[in-house]
């Protein structure tokens, strides 16, 4: 049989992009890897608004994938990082998404906790504390408090379980880890959350995780965001009718 065509991974080196990179590297590490190729989407330059990307995701956010060999052999376009993690883990047939029903729903619970809580709230803190041209004390305090609260929730869970879904590493951990790394960017001292720190260090040491966070790493923003980038990311360009 001919080799399966590679899955297109439209992405950029952000926490949400890193989720998918890490999962694909974990699959490769296991020997059950899926073929894939990176298509960079330079979000600071506005490439997320290009027609070819909008044809995959109307939400113009990375990551998104196109699997030429989707369900039933038909091409599949998919956006939202959580949905992508579920799809790829199930396609590979590995226990990164548990098959036991109770553990599976626990895994999905913590995946949704990341998607609905950790990602949005950490992102709001990053925006108001690091990117917003005007520093608003109320907003910074609100989201700083929420970042701390979410760390406490994670620390309580990880006091009773090696990983978020239970004793085994899963897509719930893969989704959450990229948002917990580099805690200094959120004014967080992980020593205040010893169970999160233990979990973070164990995941950071995984070879597949090291490779995953290195994908497109040369393109990561360094230094202050330019006015042009700020306008693309947060200004009128972001909210134009398309």
Q: Looking at residues 46-69, what average pLDDT do you find?
A: 97
CA distances from 191 to 151, 195, 199 (A): 11, 9, 12
pLDDT band at 221 (very low <50, low <70, confident <90, very high): confident
* Nearest 10 degrees: Cα torsion 19, 25, 26, 30: 160
What element of type H or E holds 39? strand 36-40
pLDDT at 41 over 80: yes
Q: Model confidence over 114-148: pLDDT tens digits?
A: 999 999 999 999 999 999 989 999 999 999 999 99
The average confidence (pLDDT) of the chain is: 95
Cis peptide before 190 (omega within 30 of 0): no
Q: Looking at residues 176-183, what average pLDDT do you find?
A: 97
Q: Looking at residues 5-14, what average pLDDT do you find?
A: 97
pLDDT at residue number 203: 98
Q: Looking at residues 59-70, what average pLDDT do you find?
A: 97
pLDDT at residue number 77: 98
Q: Looking at residues 220-241, what average pLDDT do you find?
A: 88
Provide, rounded to the nearest whole percent, the portion of the chain with pLDDT above 90. 90
pLDDT at residue number 2: 54
pLDDT band at 184 (very low <50, low <70, confident <90, very high): very high
User: For residue 212, which of 88, 107, 97 has the smallest C-alpha distance?
Assistant: 88
CA distances from 88 to 84, 110, 118 (A): 6, 17, 22
Question: What is 7-94+212-239's CATH number, 1.10.150.130, 3.10.20.30, 3.40.30.10, 3.50.50.60?
Answer: 3.40.30.10
Rounded to whole angstroms, the Cα distance separating 158 from 114 reads: 14
Domain ranges of the chain: 7-94+212-239, 101-205
pLDDT at residue number 128: 96
Q: Model confidence over 76-117: pLDDT tens digits?
A: 999 999 999 999 999 998 789 999 999 999 999 999 999 999
What element of type H or E holds 212? helix 207-214
What dotted CATH number matches 101-205? 1.20.1050.10
pLDDT at residue number 1: 35
User: For residue 165, which of 129, 113, 202 has the smallest C-alpha distance?
Assistant: 113
SS3 22: helix
Q: Model confidence over 162-171: pLDDT tens digits?
A: 999 999 999 9
pLDDT at residue number 225: 85
Rounded to whole angstroms, the Cα distance separating 186 from 179 reads: 10
Rounded to whole angstroms, the Cα distance separating 112 from 80 reads: 12
């Amino acid at each position: 049989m001919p080799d399966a065509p590679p899955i297109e991974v439209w992405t950029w080196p952000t926490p949400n992009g890193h989720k998918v990179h890490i999962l694909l590297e974990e699959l490769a590490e296991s020997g059950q890897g899926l073929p894939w190729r990176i298509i960079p989407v330079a979000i600071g330059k506005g490439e997320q608004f290009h027609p070819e990307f909008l044809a995959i995701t109307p939400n113009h956010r990375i990551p998104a994938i196109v699997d030429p060999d989707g369900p039933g052999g038909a091409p599949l376009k998919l956006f939202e990082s959580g949905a992508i993690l579920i799809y790829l883990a199930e396609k590979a047939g590995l226990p990164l998404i548990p098959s036991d029903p109770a553990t599976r729903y626990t895994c999905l619970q913590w995946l949704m906790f990341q998607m609905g809580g950790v990602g949005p709230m950490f992102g709001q803190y990053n925006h108001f504390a690091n990117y917003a041209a005007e520093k608003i004390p109320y907003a910074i305090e609100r989201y700083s408090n929420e970042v701390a609260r979410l760390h406490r929730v994670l620390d309580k869970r990880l006091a009773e379980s090696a990983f978020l879904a239970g004793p085994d590493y899963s897509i719930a951990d893969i989704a959450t880890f990229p948002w917990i790394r580099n805690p200094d960017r959120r004014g967080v001292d992980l020593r205040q959350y010893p169970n999160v720190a233990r979990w973070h260090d164990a995941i950071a040491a995984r070879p597949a995780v090291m490779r995953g966070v290195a994908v497109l790493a040369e393109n990561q923003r360094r230094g202050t965001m330019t006015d042009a980038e700020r306008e693309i990311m947060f200004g009128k360009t972001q909210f134009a009718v398309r």
